[in-house]
Amino acid sequence: YISVTGVQTCALPILNNPDLFSAAAILSAAPVELDALDENAVRESDHPFLRRLWGMAENAGGWARFRDSDENVWRLMNDRRHDLPRLLFASGEEDELVRDDLRRFRAHAEATGIPATFFEIPNLGHEWRFWDQAIERALPFLFGNADD
């Protein structure tokens, strides 16, 4: 399974059906630690990503329901870490949309034993040049031909 999209879209099939996948590559997306975010700060933010999160929370019936729902990929990955397939996360080193969240998730995954491999490609952001290179690196991982 390979996905270049929002983390909910790419991770939920894996989290809900881990027995169907032997590996997954998640490119330019990162779980967000919703429990660490302040509801009021998210609601009042002008940042496009946080505006999107707030819209998702409204659609779920409020911040608490959203945070406790299956949209909370960080929590689901943590809770289901023993059932997950091998995961590969990657971003461009200059990808301001996901880089910091992915670095936080990497530290969490390494500390808690979530079966994930991570890499960043220098000098690239949220762009086609990154995805072209990342897909080339992800394919051996997905087909079991690399330790990456």
Strands 86-92 and 116-121: parallel
- The residue behind tokens 């990929």 is 73
pTM, to two decimals: 0.86
For residue range 69-116, list pLDDT tens digits in order. Answer: 988 889 989 999 999 999 999 999 999 988 999 999 999 999 999 999
Sequential DSSP letters for 84-108? --EEEEEEETT-TTTHHHHHHHHHH
